[in-house]
Amino acid sequence: MDRETRQELLELTDRMAELQREKGRLAEERERLYRRCDPIRARCLVKIALEKDEKGKPLYSNEQLRRAASTLELESDQEYPQIQGQIRESLTRERELDIEHARLGDRRVILMADAGMQVPTAPPSLPYG
């Protein structure tokens, strides 16, 4: 294997590791975002469960109505939709990282094959190192 190919393989491996670390950071941030949603959701559910009509009966008499009311309540919350948007952005970024990781892995396999090296047995689009 020539020096240039070796250097490119090392750089690809390093970049793939960077992508995995970034995915880990995204997962940690998403976990923090999910935890921020928990008390908001809990307050919403308690509020809906405790609401009564003028006769003192539960305002939302069945699970379907309670679920619909909680959806509307959460969407009207100032913070909850913003947090959900951040979670969606994080998931989108993670999918982009997966695609880039697979692309680099495919490139690495091609370089290895061209250099006459033994190629890993996992499909090229699966992360394996």
Q: Tell me if 9 is assigned to some domain.
A: yes
Given this model, what pLDDT does residue 129 score? 45
Higher pLDDT, 124 or 96: 96
For residue 89, CA distances in Å to 28, 30, 83, 86, 121 come to: 14, 10, 10, 5, 33
The whole-angstrom separation of Cα 37 and Cα 57 is 29
Q: Tell me if 85 is assigned to some domain.
A: yes
Sign of CA dihedral 86, 88, 94, 96: negative
Q: Are 9 and 112 in contact (CB under 8 A)?
A: yes
> If you average pLDDT over residues 85-101, what whole number do you get?
98
Given this model, what pLDDT does residue 128 score? 46
Q: Tell me if 35 is assigned to some domain.
A: yes
Given this model, what pLDDT does residue 110 score? 92
91 residue type, one letter: L
The tens digit of pLDDT for each residue in 100-129 reads 999 999 999 999 998 888 887 765 555 544
Q: Tell me if 50 is assigned to some domain.
A: yes
Q: Tell me if 128 is assigned to some domain.
A: no
Q: Tell me if 127 is assigned to some domain.
A: no
> What is the tally of structural domains in the chain?
1
pLDDT at 83 over 90: yes
| DSSP line for 42-95 | HHHHHHHHH-B-TTSSBSS-SHHHHHHHHHHHHHHSSSHHHHHHHHHHHHHHHH
Q: Tell me if 123 is assigned to some domain.
A: no
The set of residues, in sequence order, having a beta carbon less than 8 Å from that of 47 and lying 6+ positions away, is 73
Q: Are 90 and 30 in contact (CB under 8 A)?
A: yes
Range of the domain at 52: 3-114
As a residue count, the chain comes to 129
Task: Please give the model's pTM, rounded to 2 decimal places.
Answer: 0.79
The tens digit of pLDDT for each residue in 2-61 reads 999 999 999 999 999 999 999 999 999 999 999 999 999 999 999 999 999 999 999 998
Q: Tell me if 129 is assigned to some domain.
A: no
